Structure formats: structure tokens, C-alpha cells
Amino acid sequence: MKRLSLLLGMLLICYAAFAQFGALPGGGKGAQAPPKIGHVFGRVVDQDGKPVPEVAVILLQNRYDSITKKRKDFLFKGVNTTGKGEFSFEELPIMGPPMKLKISLIGYKTIELPVAFQLKMPAGGMKAPQDPAKAMAAASDALSQFEKDLGVIKMETDSHTLEGVTVTGSKPLMQMDIDKKVFNVEKNIVSVGGTAVDVMRNVPSVQVDIDGNVKLRNAVPQIYVEGRPTTLSLDQIPADAIESVEVITNPSAKYDASGGNAGILNIILKKNRKTGYNGNVMAGADIRGGYNGGGSFNVRQGKFNVTATAMVNAMRNKTTGTTDRTNFGDTAVHIDQENNNKTNGQFVFGNLGLDYFATNHTSFSIAGIKVHGKFKPGEVIDINTDSLLPSGTVNNFSQRLTHSAREFNANGLQAGFKHSFAKEGEEWTADLNYFSGRSKFNADYNTNYYDASHTLDGTQLQQQIGTGKNKFLTIQTDYVKPFTAKTKLEAGLRAQIRNTENYNDTYVQYNGMGTPVLLAGATSDYKNHDNVYAAYASVTSGFGNFGYQLGLRGESSNYDGKLTNTGQKFSNRYPISLFPSVFLSQKLKHDQELQLSYTRRVNRPNFFQLIPYTDFTDSLNITRGNPDLVPEFTNSVEGSYSKTFKGNHNILFSLYYKHTNDLITRYLQAGINPGTGKSDIINTYINASSSYTTGAEFTSTNPVTKWLDITTNVNVYNGKINAPDSLASVEQDAMWSWFGKFNSNVKLPKNFSVQISADYQSKTNLPINNNQQQFGPPSSAQSASQGYIRSFWGMDAAVKKTFLKNNAAAVTLSISDIFRTRLNSQFSQSEYFVQNYARLANPQLVKLNFTYRFGKIDTAVFKRKNMKMQGEGMQGASMGQ
């Protein structure tokens, strides 16, 4: 017992020595680290005294940073509270740099508490007790001083939490990354109740034509959803489901190399990562009888997160237009048309997703998407035809009535896996995306012919019946390996497999015939298989304020096609092509940054451009593919300068140049129409020599005051097609054009807000090629590769009122094309004809929408906190933020 007493006494003396002299690690030769016997624990409850599980509790240690030459907080340890709200940290140093405890949870105020261990000296100094019992008691008392029970810690609700909606401040309207710009569109109230087409009208750099086709810097971009290509078109995605749009003008090696001289528009859908349950419901209508409605719901409990969305959008569109055209040939013919189109239809969009957080490092997700649409376009065309004969003009009048119905069903499945390794930033992901679509189409084209006295002289009926299938599978895996804070390696593999089928029969019943007959020359039945395989690697690094990203992508592709009604087959194999990308970034003083990038990309001809078949289905739009087309390759260079001013004002100025070899463009030639036996003009495709596009773009985001913010975008560009002498008719003269957008948001008293947006397009060349994704053959074709679009402008406005408790409800009134000025007017010409063409769609469309948001954060029931949010919080702590 004497030995035990002596040992305990020596232990107490050692502890006293540490307390008195403060031995620190690294304190000199022979110095020892303080014993790691500290223990801190406690229990977290809410305002009602209920335990709060899965709360992030971290220990921060304040010490000297040799890089910044300053002291800052570093992450020392971190845990989550148990189901009883308890947490515990053991083996803590009893001496050394000061520490503090930080407790945080979405919806609650963050708590910070100091952590320190202090050994209290007994009265009379430190003496080794002679009585073993007293020695044991003294040792126990000494050890207990290194255990800190913080007791019950009560968390208070954050005053910014609004019925389950946490206000963390407005997101910036534009965010810059090394290879993209991110535009947050949640504040765009003019697009409420619409589709992604309406959203794109308010995204800088993006142009939207009268048919809802988009252009990015005067070229057709690829449409992605959540970073992956999709078969969905923009008018099949509800505006209310979109959180942000990533504009990628010069995609890096990480992205699919296809797309040619255009960029990528990546749509990011809204997700709710809050612990608990929340959602919204909405409904709206417009003055033409269109309506929309739906809602979304999110619940997070334990290791599971479930999200469901359902929306319906019905439209009653109206388009008017004129066409004035003179055809040259043996007999010149002048055609004057007046078009009146009305389309009634609707689509339903549904999404159901499940996330499973297997561990703190591994998660799985699966989601299903369903889109169903049915449309009934109707059209009346009054056609005056003048045959300009040497003996005089012969006038004919006809009227074509079109009644048609289109129906499509699209299904999507998205599955994902993510594993984060122990080292921060290292992760492995795998994704599978599958989309399939089925479409049905039938139409009756009834043409009535009248004589000079406008008496009915004959009737021709044309019937079209078609079905189509589209399957799109993408499998991709990516790995990210960080080496230092600035250096990381990214690599991945990708396979894209696409199958297309189409069956389209055309029947004609001429005047006096009893039964419609099948037109073999206007029958289009085919199958197509298109595969692309890719691998990429990129390195991101830098030093000081300079950063760079170097990437290389390899892709090979092949396609096989078959005309099932004739048995004709065609195919092509493209060897591996390499696509390098270089991105450089230099941060300057006073929140300035310079960026420079170079990429190489490809645009492969699609099936409708390759199919060696002349489609005479629509006598006003005859098309033919060219199986001899080869891919076009584009080299792009872009430089930009950005500056953030006081008050978070931001400007971005970019210069860009793109050069394309073997440009795929439209070409006009004459051919015999088997339905009429007469010569007609046929739209087909060829590879021109080359083309270039150069331009400058300016974007400015200005939060002028707390109640006003403005976004301005101007793009000035010039382009030219260089064609060989044998294809001189393809070549267009270069033309300088510009495109501008303006968007403003105003907050008014009484919870009112107003948004006004406008856009202007100057006179510009006709687009080289509209390569839009769709089911079935192209619904329209540009009538010439030479010509221009006349200038036009338009303005939209909306007013929003929020009300009820915590502004949970909102009513929005909007009007598009206020002054009926978005007239698409085109002039085109070739050796075969001269044409003036104009259309105006849905002017002065007024919409009224209602939205109600609900939700609750109840951590006693919904027990799983977002691990990504925790990781970001800990990362910020380790960086001294």
C-alpha cells in the first residue's frame, strides 16, 4: 500500500508540474506532449426539451498556421449526436492550444462553447498522502477534473426559419466557375407556370426563337439535365422544377465532346435537402384557356430521403404568319400564303426519387421520371398561286386545312452511387441514366382548290400515320483524387447508346378517287443505332493566384441504319478522336479575375441528316438526308475578364473565336416529287469547307439597392461559311449582329415585387443548322442556307404578391410580349427561289398563378441530417472560416 500511495503521489505531482509549467508539444529538446486523457460530453435538446439526434458537433483547435502566418481554427474532431441527443469526445489533450466546441443544425442557432481543463491545487500545496484511501480519493478527484460534463445544451430556433423554409440570404444571380457560369432562376417570376423555354428567355447569353428553339451565341447547344444528356425537350420540363441553369460556352474534356460549335445548357432541378418534410402546391391559368398545376413533397427520415413531384401544363397556343415566295424554273410561280395555327394540348411531368445514406461515406440514389403529352395542332393555310406564263398570269387559290394529333410518352430512370474516401475531396461516383420515348402521330391535310370565280374545283386529301421510339442509355463513372489543396485528378469512362425507330406511312386521295392510296415515295420506316464511347482525364492545379485545368478526352463512335420498308442499310465507323481542353485562371487584386480557355469538339451528323431517303410527306417542306456526311470538328478559344465591385456588383467581359472544319449545313437542290410528278425544291445537307464565328459578350449583374437588382447581357458576333467553288450557293456574306437582354427585379412595400425583362435581336444571318432533339422527322426545315432574320424585340413583365403567415403563399400575374413585337421575319434566297416569311406566336399572353409552400423541421421525428452540409461546415472550420 505504501508503494501505491507513493505512485499516486508521484502521479499527482506530475499533473501539478504540467499545470504549473505548461509543458507543450515541441517545447524544446526532451519536451513531452501533455497527456491525452481529457473527456468532454453533453446532451443536446430542443426548446421543448426533446433530444436532438444527428446534430453536427465539432471541436476546433486554435493554433498557428505556418502558411498564412496567423492563428486560425482547425478541425480537431467531429461527431454526430446519438438518438438521445448525446455526444462524447475522449482522449483530448489536457494542455496545449485553446479549443472550442461548435454545435450546428439547419433551422437552429449555432452554439459555440470554450473547452479547457484546469487542475485545481489542493490547499497547502501538493503532497503525497500517506493514507492509501486518501491517496485514491485524491487521484480520483484529480482525474475528474479532466472530465467536463457540459450538461444539457438547449438549441434555439433560428429566427430566419420560416415555416420550414430557412432564409440564408439570396443566392447571387450569377456565379463563376473555371469552366461555366451558373444563373440562379428561382427569382424569375415571369416564367412561373411556364416551361423551361420561358426560363431560357431570361438567362443571359441564351436566345429563344418563336418556336421555342434555343441558341447559345447563335448556335444550337446541347440540353443536359443534372449533368447528363436527355431526350426531354425544353417544353417538357416545368419552369417551377428548375433551380438554376449552367451556361457552359466552352465545355471541357469532362463533358461529352459532341455539340460542335455550340455549348451546353445544363438544367439543375430543385432538390430539398432539409431534415423534415416540406413541399409546395401551385395552380394557374392564362387568358387563352391554358392552365397548369401540381406540387412537390420532400421527406427525410433516418437514412432515407424521398422526393416526389407532379405537374401538369396545358396550353392553347396561337400563331399567325405569312409566306411570300417566288419559285424559279421553266415557269416562274409566285406563292402567297397566310397561316393561322392553333394548338391545344397538355403534358404531365412526374418525378419520384429516393436517396439512401448507407454510411457517412456511401450513398445510393434512384429516381424515376415520367412525361406524357398529347397535342392537337390545327392549321389553316390560304394559298394564292400565280403561274407567271409568257402569255399572262394564271391565278389559282387553294386552302389547306390541317387536323393532327401528336402523343408522346417518355420514361426515365436515374440511378447513382457515391463514395467519399477518408481524404477530403476524394470520391468515386457511378451513374446510370436511361430514357425512352414513344410517340404517335396522325394528320389529315385537306386541300380545297378553287377556280377563278372562287368556286370549289377539286379536293385532295392526304393522310399521315406514324409511330416512333427512342431509347437513350448513358453509363458513366468518375473518380476524383485530390493531392493537395489546389491539385486534383479527375478521370472517367462513359458509354452512350441510342436506338431510334420510326414508322411513317402517307396516303393520298385525289379528287374523284374512292380509296386513299399509299405513296411509296412518302413512306419512311427506319431503325437506327448510334453508340459513343469515351474516356477522359483532367488535372486541376495552380500556385498562388494562378490556376489551371488540363484535360484530354478520347471518343469513338459508330452508327447503323436501315430503311425497313426497302431493306436498304447504311453504317459508318469513326475511329478514336482526341479532344484536348485547357483552362487558365489568374486572380488579380481587388476581386478581379482573368480566364483563358481552349477546347476541341465534334458535331456528328444525326440520323435525320444521314438517312438516304427523300421525305415528300409535306409538300411545303421536302427533306432528304445525305449518308456521305462526315463529322465536323470545331476549335474554340475564349478569354474573359470578371470584376466584383463594392456592393456585390459584377461584370463579365468575354471574347471568343470558333473555327469549324467540314461544317454540316443545309443545301438546296431540285428533284421530282413522286406525289405530283412535278419538280420541287429539296432541303438536304452537305459538308462545307469551313466556317468561323467570332464575338464579344458582356454580362453585368447589379444589386443596385436592397429593393432593385438588374442583369444586363449583350453579345456582338460575326460569322461566315467558307465554301468551295462547286458549292458557292452555300456561302453567306459575313454579317455583324448583336443580341441583348435586360432583366430587373423590384421589391415593393406590402410584399409586392415586380420583374421586367426585355430582349433585342438585330438583323442576323439565318442559323447554319437547327439540330433539335425530337421524336420523328424534323417538323420544319429552314428553307435556305442563304438569307437573314430581320431585327425584332420583345418585353415581358410580372408582379408578385406574397401573403399569409411567413409569406407562405404567393400570387403572380405576368404578361409576355407586351407590345406584340416578337415577330420572326426572315428573308431567304437561292438560285431556285426568293422568299419572305413571318410568324407571330402567343403575343400578349397573360397568366395568373398561385403558389403555397409548407414545411416543418422536426428533428425528433426526422432524424437524418444532410451529411454534405456537415462536411461543408467542417471543411469551412478547418480553413478558419
pLDDT digits (tens, 9 = 90+) for 61-70: 888 777 667 7
What was the pLDDT predicted at 19?
Answer: 44
Q: What is the tens place of the pLDDT at every residue in 464-504? A: 899 999 899 999 999 999 998 889 999 999 999 999 898 88
- The length of the chain in residues reads 881
Q: What are the residues whose beta carbons fall under 8 Å from the beta carbon of 123, sequence distance 6 or more?
A: none
For residue 815, pLDDT beyond 90: yes
Phi-psi region of 820 (alpha: psi -120 to 50; beta: other; left: phi over 0): left
Query: What are the DSSP calls for 259-286, one per residue?
Result: TTT--EEEEEEP----SEEEEEEEEEEE
Cβ distance 738 to 714 under 8 Å?
yes
Strand partners, 410: 371, 437
Q: What is the tens place of the pLDDT at every residue in 239-273? A: 777 888 888 888 888 888 876 567 888 888 776 54
Task: Identify the residue with better confidence: 212 or 548.
Answer: 548
Task: Identify the residue with better confidence: 343 or 787.
Answer: 343
Task: Write down the residue that cell numbers 377556280 correspond to.
Answer: 451
Cell of 774: 425530337
Q: Whole-number mean pLDDT of the chain?
A: 79
For residue 693, pLDDT beyond 60: yes
For residue 4, pLDDT beyond 60: no
For residue 34, pLDDT beyond 80: no
Task: State CA 32 to chain mean position distance.
Answer: 56
Strand partners, 445: 402, 462
- Which region among 23-32, 445-454, 722-731, 860-869 has the lowest average model confidence (pLDDT)? 860-869
Task: State CA 430 to chain mean position distance.
Answer: 19
Architecture of the domain spanning 276-856 = Beta Barrel (2.40)
**pTM recorded for the entire structure:** 0.70
What was the pLDDT predicted at 546?
Answer: 92
- Which region among 83-97, 210-224, 752-766, 823-837 has the lowest average model confidence (pLDDT)? 210-224
Q: What is the tens place of the pLDDT at every residue in 352-368? A: 999 898 887 898 999 99
What was the pLDDT predicted at 521?
Answer: 65
Q: What would the mean pLDDT of 378-384 be, rounded to a whole number?
A: 89
- Which region among 270-279, 452-461, 602-611 has the lowest average model confidence (pLDDT)? 270-279
Strand partners, 614: 624
For residue 863, pLDDT beyond 50: no
Nearest to 383 by CA among 460, 316, 329: 460
* CATH class of the 2-160 domain in this structure: mainly beta
Other CB atoms within 10 Å distance of the CB of residue 131: 11
Strand partners, 583: 549, 597
For residue 773, pLDDT beyond 70: no
What was the pLDDT predicted at 28?
Answer: 44
Confidence of residue 742 (pLDDT cuts 50, 70, 90): very high
Cell of 380: 389553316
Q: Give residue limits of the domains in the chain.
A: 2-160, 276-856
Cβ distance 59 to 99 under 8 Å?
yes
How many whole angstroms separate alpha carbon 456 and alpha carbon 740?
Answer: 49
Angle of helix 132-144 relative to helix 2-21, nearest 10 degrees? 30
Nearest to 327 by CA among 668, 728, 618, 623: 668
For residue 867, pLDDT beyond 80: no
What was the pLDDT predicted at 728?
Answer: 58
10 Å CB burial of residue 120 (0-12, 13-18, 19+) is exposed
For residue 841, pLDDT beyond 60: yes
Query: What are the DSSP calls for 44-81, one per residue?
Result: EE-TTS-B--S-EEEEEEEEEETTTTEEEEEEEEEEE-
Cβ distance 382 to 327 under 8 Å?
no
Task: Give me the half-sphere count of Cα atoms (radius 13 Å) on the Cβ side of residue 653.
Answer: 5
Confidence of residue 861 (pLDDT cuts 50, 70, 90): very low
Q: Give, for 5, the enclosing helix (H) or strand (E).
A: helix 2-21
Confidence of residue 171 (pLDDT cuts 50, 70, 90): low
Cβ distance 366 to 391 under 8 Å?
no
For residue 143, pLDDT beyond 60: no
Confidence of residue 571 (pLDDT cuts 50, 70, 90): confident
Q: What is the tens place of the pLDDT at every residue in 322-333? A: 999 888 777 788
Nearest to 185 by CA among 113, 260, 265, 106: 265
Strand partners, 41: 88, 149
How many whole angstroms separate alpha carbon 869 and alpha carbon 268?
Answer: 18
Q: What would the mean pLDDT of 614-635 be, rounded to a whole number?
A: 77
Phi-psi region of 211 (alpha: psi -120 to 50; beta: other; left: phi over 0): alpha
What was the pLDDT predicted at 880?
Answer: 34
Beta strands 206-208 and 228-229 are: unpaired
Task: Write down the residue that cell numbers 478569354 correspond to.
Answer: 639
Task: State CA 434 to chain mean position distance.
Answer: 17
How many whole angstroms separate alpha carbon 508 and alpha carbon 461?
Answer: 6
b vs e for 680-692, b when ≥16 Cβ sit within 10 Å of the residue's Cβ?
bbbbbbbbbebbb
What was the pLDDT predicted at 212?
Answer: 60
Task: Write down the residue that cell numbers 461527431 correspond to.
Answer: 79
- Which region among 340-349, 445-454, 546-555 has the lowest average model confidence (pLDDT)? 445-454
Q: What would the mean pLDDT of 644-656 be, rounded to a whole number?
A: 88
Q: Tell me the Cα Rg of the chain.
A: 34
- Which region among 242-251, 312-321, 686-695, 849-858 has the lowest average model confidence (pLDDT)? 849-858
The CA-atom distances, in angstroms, between 462 and each of 173, 446, 503, 513 are: 51, 6, 17, 12
What was the pLDDT predicted at 875?
Answer: 31
For residue 96, pLDDT beyond 70: yes
Q: What is the tens place of the pLDDT at every residue in 845-859? A: 999 999 888 876 443
For residue 139, pLDDT beyond 60: no
For residue 686, pLDDT beyond 80: yes
Counting residues of the chain whose pLDDT is more than 90, the rounded percentage is 28
- Which region among 225-234, 260-269, 368-377 has the lowest average model confidence (pLDDT)? 225-234
Other CB atoms within 10 Å distance of the CB of residue 677: 7
Task: Identify the residue with better confidence: 213 or 59.
Answer: 59
What was the pLDDT predicted at 434?
Answer: 92
3-state class (DSSP) for residue 188: coil
Q: What would the mean pLDDT of 565-573 be, rounded to a whole number?
A: 81
For residue 757, pLDDT beyond 70: yes
Q: What are the residues whose beta carbons fall under 8 Å from the beta carbon of 452, sequence distance 6 or more?
A: 395
